[in-house]
A and B are shown apart, each in its own frame.
Chain A
Amino acid sequence: MNEVLFSNEVIVYLLAESILFVLLLVALVVSLKVMFKWDFEKFTPYQFALERQAYLVSTIILLVFAMKFLLIVYFIFSIDALSLIVPGAMCAAGVITANEYGSFLLILKLIILLFLTLWLYVHFYDMHTKNHRWFKEKSWLFSFIFLLILLEFGLDFAYFSDINIHQPVSCCSALFGQLEGANPLPFGLNITFLLVLYYLLYALVMLSIKTKQTVLYIVSNILFIYIAYYAVVYFFGTYVYQLPTHKCPFCMFQVEYLYVGYLLWGSLFLGTYMGLSNAITTLWLKQSHDASQKSVLYLLSFFVLACTAYVAVYYIKNGVLL
């Protein structure tokens, strides 16, 4: 049996995911029954029983979704810890690419978190109507998320059981290092244009929040998170590591860098998820939440300021740029 499955972190992670999956499975079965029989206008014993069950299901889903947000942090922590037993890996980057499931699993987890955030918004709006106006939309969305989580659950086991600790993997410097002549940046950009685009897109996101241009916001925020990823890996990250050749999105999750990766990536993804969810519900349900848009503004601004501060502090200390 694969030794990875016996590491403490993986046991805890898979056990937690399994418990949450069982809870969600129960919630799905009840949710489907409630969804098809739901008629809020009725005062019958059956409808009251459905309302009680719906309340229970929502509580379960809320609990599980809250745990899922914590679990992705623990997932990163776990694969980073595995770098100690997977030969060649210096951080989570090597472990996540140890087989063909890893990268897909990570992307799927990030997509699931976006939909979870969207569900939380729909749930919030539903709970703020007297007749549970968005109950069916919320239930359909949960059913869709469950399918994604089912896929994620299978991939979790496939990924961890397929990591071969006798086969060396590439470290982050090999994965993200610049091969001679090759440009890893998107659209053929160089670093200067990447940074110009990064700050311009940030400004566009802020402008679209201020002017409440929903479609513009969605487009600019998706572009921003895409460009921000490259900007962090290929520019700002080198200031976090204080080494121009060290390009990695994962090493900053380690204690040597004060776990700053959780803060940087956390603020970027949380801000983006909240903003996109609010924008989607604005278009879909014609509901928006101004207070949460302020949070988006603060989170993304914090992310941009923190990245910029790393460069500024390095320049002030050393008088040169990397």
Chain B
Amino acid sequence: MRGHVMRGDVMISNEMIQIENLNRTFHHAGNEVPVLKEINLDIQEGACVILKGVSGSGKTTLLSLIAGLDKPSSGKVLIEGEPISKLPDLFASELRAKKIGMIFQHFNLFDHLNVSENVTIPLIPSGLTMKEIEQKVDVALNLANISHKKETEASRLSGGEKQRTAIARALVAGPNIILCDEPTANLDRDNSLLFIEILKDLHALGKTIVIATHDPLFDTLSFESTIVPMFDGRIV
């Protein structure tokens, strides 16, 4: 195991993702509910960071803010120096489409489309020709080891196959950052290990990976990683 636990702020140079004094508070029934509190985290290009914590610790909210899917209450999130937390939706979407691939716990596939079509979707607004799109889709399917199922409808896939399709979809636009939210929560142990093997390949390709999980399998990865424990909205 080459992964290691770090407490407090993680400060590494050549940052792909920089988070400074990040806070996110939700308002519920007239009450303020602070979900993230003063998060500071710098993630180096090519690093694999695992956000570990129990449910409600703020992992998913942090991923959403990194992806620009949500806006913070205060603080900065910079992606390659670009403040995604301040960008208008149009630019945040553009940045996300180019630089960030997301993998979700529930896969979020279109069940009535086949694997290849699901993976094609992120490239539809890209302006690429059909031939270029097909080439990129084939590369992504091979990387995720799901090309043998490319014509199969998503509803007919197993959990592991669905997750690999989701990985291919996250990779197809060639993003440098991969964000995974509880990626193995719906997988059995064998498929979880297979998923981790794919992550290893992505790490070898130099992708920056951030995983929010409470799965103990991620405690003993066979490649370099940094575990960032979270509790009650803070990095501890």
Interface residues of A (CB under 8 A from B): 40, 43-45, 48-49, 51-52, 127-132
Q: How far is the CB of B199 from chain A (nearest CB, A)?
A: 32
A-B contact pairs, 7 of them (CB 8 A): A40-B86, A43-B20, A43-B74, A43-B75, A43-B83, A45-B23, A45-B73
List, in ascending order, chain A residues with CB within 8 A of B23's CB.
45
Stretch at the interface among B87-95, B159-167, B211-219: B87-95
List, in ascending order, chain B residues with CB within 8 A of A48's CB.
71-74
List which B45-83 residues lie within 8 A (CB) of chain A. 71-76, 83
A128 and B90 form a contact (CB under 8 A) = yes
List, in ascending order, chain B residues with CB within 8 A of A43's CB.
20-21, 74-76, 83, 85-86
List, in ascending order, chain B residues with CB within 8 A of A40's CB.
86
User: Once the chains are docked, how many angstroms separate the CA of A48 from the CA of B72?
Assistant: 7
B91 and A130 form a contact (CB under 8 A) = yes
Q: How far is the CB of B3 from chain A (nearest CB, A)?
A: 32
List, in ascending order, chain A residues with CB within 8 A of B76's CB.
43
8 new A-B contacts at CB < 8 Å, known A43-B83, A48-B73: A43-B21, A43-B74, A44-B74, A48-B74, A49-B73, A129-B88, A130-B87, A132-B88
User: Once the chains are docked, how many angstroms separate the CA of A45 from the CA of B21?
Assistant: 11
User: Once the chains are docked, how many angstroms separate the CA of A52 from the CA of B75?
Assistant: 15
User: Once the chains are docked, how many angstroms separate the CA of A49 from the CA of B83?
Assistant: 17
B74 and A130 form a contact (CB under 8 A) = no
Interface of A is mostly: loop
List, in ascending order, chain B residues with CB within 8 A of A44's CB.
74
User: Once the chains are docked, how many angstroms separate the CA of A101 from the CA of B1?
Assistant: 83
Query: Which of B23, B74, B85, B90 has the most CB atoms of chain A within a 10 A radius of its CB?
Result: B74
User: Once the chains are docked, how many angstroms separate the CA of A127 from the CA of B85?
Assistant: 15
List, in ascending order, chain B residues with CB within 8 A of A45's CB.
23, 73-74
Q: How far is the CB of B99 from chain A (nearest CB, A)?
A: 15
Q: How far is the CB of B120 from chain A (nearest CB, A)?
A: 27
Q: How far is the CB of A163 from chain B (nearest CB, A)?
A: 46
List, in ascending order, chain B residues with CB within 8 A of A129's CB.
88
List, in ascending order, chain B residues with CB within 8 A of A130's CB.
86-88, 91
User: Once the chains are docked, how many angstroms separate the CA of A128 from the CA of B85?
Assistant: 16
B90 and A127 form a contact (CB under 8 A) = yes
B74 and A51 form a contact (CB under 8 A) = no
Q: How far is the CB of B75 from chain A (nearest CB, A)?
A: 6
A51 and B90 form a contact (CB under 8 A) = no
User: Once the chains are docked, how many angstroms separate the CA of A132 from the CA of B87?
Assistant: 9
User: Once the chains are docked, how many angstroms separate the CA of A127 from the CA of B93?
Assistant: 13
User: Once the chains are docked, how many angstroms separate the CA of A40 from the CA of B88?
Assistant: 11
User: Once the chains are docked, how many angstroms separate the CA of A45 from the CA of B85?
Assistant: 12
Q: How far is the CB of A62 from chain B (nearest CB, A)?
A: 13
Q: How far is the CB of B49 from chain A (nearest CB, A)?
A: 22
A127 and B75 form a contact (CB under 8 A) = no
B71 and A51 form a contact (CB under 8 A) = yes
List, in ascending order, chain B residues with CB within 8 A of A131's CB.
86
The residue of chain B having its C-beta at the shortest distance from the C-beta of A132 within the complex is B88
Q: A43-B76, A45-B23 are in contact. Are A52 and B88 (CB under 8 A)?
A: no
The residue of chain B having its C-beta at the shortest distance from the C-beta of A49 within the complex is B73
List, in ascending order, chain A residues with CB within 8 A of B72's CB.
48
The residue of chain A having its C-beta at the shortest distance from the C-beta of B91 within the complex is A130
